[in-house]
Amino acid sequence: MNYIVLDLEWNQGNTGQEPEVKEMPFEVIDIGAVKLNENRNITDKYNQLVKPVVYHQMNRITSDLVHLHMEDLQSGRPFVEVMNEFLTWCGEDYLFCTWGPLDLFELQRNMHYFHMEPLSRKPVRFLDVQKLFSIAYEDKKSRRSLEYAIDFLQIEKDIPFHRAFSDAYYTARILEQMEEEVLENYSIDTYILPRNREEEIHVMFHDYMKYISREFPDKQKAIEDREVISTKCYLCRRNIRRKVRWFSTNGKHYYSISVCPVHGYMKSKIRIRKSENDKVYVVKTSKFISEEECQKIMKRKPKK
């Protein structure tokens, strides 16, 4: 299996000048990628500008950040042509890797806009190297900039940042240094969602469980679903008593605490997210916590 380290640059509408296209708020204009073999050695590279067809003015913030102008993009090629070439270059057996969670989602949104076949008929597994950096070297929660990580690992900065290929290259250099067990903490892109209950995702990581639901018409239907609000112990698979019933502080995130007689306090968190179809889906995580952490969560519960 190869690792395809991907980075994109995209353009967007200018407020008051060029309105946002809802179906594609971010148009890909630069694709950069680095291929690593199963030993995580760099074996190939890919870079191509994309000629825009949706936004014909360069957003000022984008231009300042990536140092690209509309004149530069006129030498680019159509998105569909570039994507077909890129996917052929990727090969048959590969795993996408990105710095942060956004690139793969926006790539698929661009593909959908141009009526291309999706990357997959189900959620796509990938490595978020930004998250892996935090797991490997920090507190698992921080999300550092790419340049910070390069400086931290004392990797030579031999090309400028903030272009698709250079950022893919630096991300690959970081990935090269990761311990193998860190890579077990893969991420799941949710541009394509499970289509039914049977396809819903249940995955157990080192110290927590993640569940990704199918779509629901609205939030109320989601939080009424038995699987969504279930709080089984993910280690011994038994139903366990809830110490704190589900509650929310903002209407988007819901929390509960249950007690397993074998494994102790388990915190569950539901995130309600909007899908591309203007429906909702749920990402639920469950994790065992200390009694002290349990008390902190209980204090956050609104009083009746």
pLDDT tens, 207-243? 999 999 999 999 999 999 999 999 999 999 888 999 9
Q: How many CA atoms lie less than 13 Å away from 112 in the CB half-sphere?
A: 17
- As a whole number, mean pLDDT of residues 76-105 equals 97
Query: What is the per-residue DSSP string for 5-45?
Result: EEEEEEE-PBTTTB---TT-SSEEEEEEEEEE-TT--EEEE
Residues 18 and 89 occupy one common structural domain: yes
Question: Does 304 have pLDDT greater than 70?
Answer: no
Residue located via tokens 């698979």: 237
- As a whole number, mean pLDDT of residues 11-21 equals 81
**245-280 pLDDT tens trace:** 999 988 889 999 999 999 999 999 999 999 999 999
Residues 218 and 280 occupy one common structural domain: yes
Residues 95 and 223 occupy one common structural domain: no
Residues 75 and 173 occupy one common structural domain: yes
User: Which range marks the domain in which residue 249 is found?
Assistant: 195-300
- Residue 190 inside a domain? The answer is no
Domain closes at, from 184, 205, 224 = 184
- As a whole number, mean pLDDT of residues 49-60 equals 90
Residues 158 and 283 occupy one common structural domain: no
Residues 128 and 236 occupy one common structural domain: no
Alpha-carbon radius of gyration of the chain: 21
Q: What is the rounded distance in angstroms from the CA atom of residue 88 to the CA atom of residue 299?
A: 54
Total of domains in the chain: 2
Q: What is the rounded distance in angstroms from the CA atom of residue 242 to the CA atom of residue 261?
A: 12
Residues 180 and 204 occupy one common structural domain: no
Domain closes at, from 127, 149, 184 = 184
Instruction: Yes or no: say if 126 and 98 are a contact pair by the CB < 8 Å rule.
Output: yes
Q: Confidence band (pLDDT; 50, 70, 90) for 302?
A: confident
Domain closes at, from 120, 149, 184 = 184
pTM to 2 decimal places: 0.92
Instruction: Yes or no: say if 108 and 276 are a contact pair by the CB < 8 Å rule.
Output: no
Q: What is the rounded distance in angstroms from the CA atom of residue 228 to the CA atom of residue 218?
A: 13
Q: Confidence band (pLDDT; 50, 70, 90) for 58?
A: confident
Question: Does 293 have pLDDT greater than 70?
Answer: yes
Helix (H) or strand (E) holding 166: helix 164-176
Q: What is the rounded distance in angstroms from the CA atom of residue 50 to the CA atom of residue 179?
A: 35
Q: What is the rounded distance in angstroms from the CA atom of residue 135 to the CA atom of residue 178?
A: 10
Number of Cβ within 10 Å of residue 19's Cβ equals 10
Enter the tokens of residue 240: 């366990």
- Residue 189 inside a domain? The answer is no
Q: Is residue 38 packed enough to be buried (19+ CB in 10 Å), middle (13-18) or exposed (0-12)?
A: exposed
Residues 199 and 248 occupy one common structural domain: yes
Long-range contacts of 164-167 (CB under 8 A, 24+ apart): 164/7, 164/8, 164/9, 164/30, 164/31, 164/32, 164/47, 165/7, 165/30, 165/32, 165/33, 165/34, 165/45, 165/46, 165/47, 166/32, 167/7, 167/32, 167/99
- Residue 214 inside a domain? The answer is yes
Residues 199 and 137 occupy one common structural domain: no
In the chain, the amino acid numbered 206 is H
Residues 166 and 278 occupy one common structural domain: no
